[in-house]
Structure 1
């Protein structure tokens, strides 16, 4: 940033929809450049970067999770073409498996996600799935939708024998970040569940006390005691819950995933459910989206939704606003609100 020229922001995706006042204010401070839709396809996008079509921009702004990603994976091939002037990449969405945040860090680029904006909605979806797997509601829902009196009566009579209240049960949360902690607060307040968690970083004593949380250094240790495991951890490209991990689950326990489908070996999950080692599962995310594993979809003890956990209008508005706020803070020398890879930068 030299002279009196405004810092430039590369805006990838559609125009903002909600936070117009904030965008207009930032447009007086920064020079927003928005590539056309056809320029966002991978080859034209990389060609434009090579030709420095958009000059030396200083930030990348992606306000929506469902557009602006037409160029595919942000990997070394693409990131290496970015000008050295880029300081921050702020995007909608909590997940970032589509961006190699370690490579961004190698190039001195701070990546900021939108997790804080989606915490409430994702946590609500987790609570829905927790209720469903404890009360075996999928069986009841499928029977009611069948319009078959026999199926209705079967569920009415017998589903109750497989249902139990979540109160006082142990909820094991994998990843107690913004979303995981919000889940913990809701489950603790609503049901009086016992909160256990495993994370790379332990919460403060005050934070643990607020939700009655027990910390586990080992994931395997927590798997063996929890009545229900909720996955709220980011996906780094590696399966977390495979056949070996599933064998360590408490027999008859439950699994809920509102994080990323790739965290679970779905064939191994089918086997664990079929042999009764796991009682039920609630899955908002799936390994091969938009395709749902057909055997999981056919099980009446598996509640499935269409990756809608964060899908509230409040989230969309928050994603858009948070991305802009992160960019403004970084380009004006302040700390980002939701940095993801700050710990990987050579100079923090």
Structure 2
């Protein structure tokens, strides 16, 4: 009987692709929906116990089910003690206090694996654009101006380079950073440098010819192009001092989170010529884009769409459900990100 099944709270929009898997999920759980409640309404629903003692939360899309705003301690404190797992779409988790979830015994799972290929492809585009100044050429062509077309056509060659043989410094050689490194070595013949909180296994390093830097500033001084591919941990990673330590004429690419980079410092470095170019999928004040960066022909800007593809969305749906089913069937989720804060007794 459905009344005896544990309750799962589905946040946001309807399932679009993985209908068979969702039907399988519904045989194991009584699914309740919040749809797209705003924060005040959602808080009231939790306080009134509207959804019951749900054991899991599932958010299959990054652009729905987030209307309640950041998942901070205020919101998390309202969750029932029965809740044990939150599986959400997307790669980043700067909008959710994963430590606070852990303190309540809740495993948080992201879905970075589902968008790895899409993000890596977009990163390669941004890297290429930073070396070849594709933004300048594209703007000139779209202007339909003969003068701008001739300017780009005649002058770009003198100030652009092929990326092969140059070094790519990856900050965060995780799943996405590693896939970008694979593509950059195979397709662009770049040399890989990397900095991370821990050194990767020897076989991983060898597979992309990666050189490890324990100190970030040491890598910044050597890399021809720096790629930010690490989660946001609450503070800027590339502040004025870090950007100043970058190699003169280097490029800076960000496919992680906008708040990792000090944008005024980036603008100043580009204006002074200390940095040659930048490629930004993400921005400090999204959805606002820094107008100074947007106006520069040596800066490629996107609308946080590096991971946006049908394949990513299909994978987000699927991985979220797999996380929940695996957790209750085996005791372990597929892609948890906050286990370091969870007490073993709470799993």
Choose from 117, 142, 155 the match for 1:158. Answer: 155
How far did residue 333 of structure 1 move?
2.7
Instruction: Quote the Cα distance in structure 2 between the aligned partners of 1:225 and 1:331.
Output: 47
Structure 1 counterpart of 2:216 = 219
**Match in the other structure for 1:24:** 23
| Distance (Å, rounded) in 1 between the aligned partners of 2:159 and 2:141 | 17
* Contact 2:35-2:65 at 8 Å conserved across structures: no
Name the SS of the counterpart of 2:4 in structure 1: coil
Residue 228 (str. 1) matches residue 240 (str. 2): no
Partner of 1:341: 338
**Structure 1 residue 36 displacement after superposition:** 4.2
What do the CA deviations read for 1:52-92 (whole angstroms, capped 9, x no partner)?
A: 11111110000000010111111111101111111110000
Deviating above 3 A after TM superposition, structure 1's stretches of 4 or more consecutive aligned residues are: none
Unpaired stretches in structure 2, ≥5 consecutive residues:
none
Residues in 1 aligned to 2:53 and 2:195: alpha-carbon distance in whole angstroms:
42
Secondary structure in 2 aligned to 1:134? helix
Q: Which residue of 2 aligns with 1:148?
A: 145
Report what 1:71 is aligned to.
68
The corresponding residue for 2:112 is 115
Matched residue, 2:54: 57
Which residue of the partner structure matches residue 43 of structure 1?
40
Tell me, in whole angstroms, the C-alpha distance in 1 between the residues paired with 2:29 and 2:213.
45
Picking from 303, 308, 312, the partner of 1:311 is: 308
Instruction: Give the whole-Å Cα distance in 1 for the aligned partners of 2:310 and 2:89.
Output: 13
How many angstroms apart in 2 are the aligned matches of 1:114 and 1:76?
22
Given that 2:13 and 2:35 are in contact with CA atoms closer than 8 Å, whether structure 1 keeps it comes out as no
1:242 Cα deviation after fit: 1.3
Report what 1:135 is aligned to.
132
Partner secondary structure for residue 253 of structure 2: strand
TM-score w.r.t. the length of structure 1 is 0.97
Structure 2 counterpart SS, 1:60: strand
Structure 2 match to 1:185 = 182
Stretch deviating more after TM superposition (193-202 or 315-324):
193-202
Corresponding residue number in structure 2 for 1:287: 284
Give the CA deviation at 1:334: 3.6
- Partner of 2:299 in structure 1? 302
Q: Distance in 1 between matches of 2:332 and 2:271?
A: 49
Query: Is the contact between residue 10 and residue 35 of structure 2 (CA under 8 Å) also seen in structure 1?
Result: no
Give the match's secondary structure for 2:34.
Answer: coil
Aligned-pair CA distance for 1:113: 0.3
Residue 5 of structure 1: aligned partner: 4
Deviations 1:213-232 (A, max 9, x none): 11111111110000000111
1:117-170 CA-to-partner distances (Å, cap 9, x unmatched) read 000000000000000001111111111111111111111111111111111111
Of residues 140-149 and 243-252 in structure 1, the stretch that sits farther from structure 2 once superposed is 140-149
SS at match of 2:226: strand
Q: CA RMSD in A?
A: 1.3
Q: Please, what TM-score do these two structures have when normalized by structure 2? A: 0.97
- Cα distance between partner residues in 1 of 2:184 and 2:335: 24
Aligned to 2:327: 330
Q: In structure 1, the residue corresponding to 2:330 is in which secondary structure?
A: coil
Query: Is 2:233 the counterpart of 1:254?
Result: no
Distance 1:199 1:344 in 2: 20
The answer to whether residue 130 in structure 2 is matched with residue 170 in structure 1 is: no
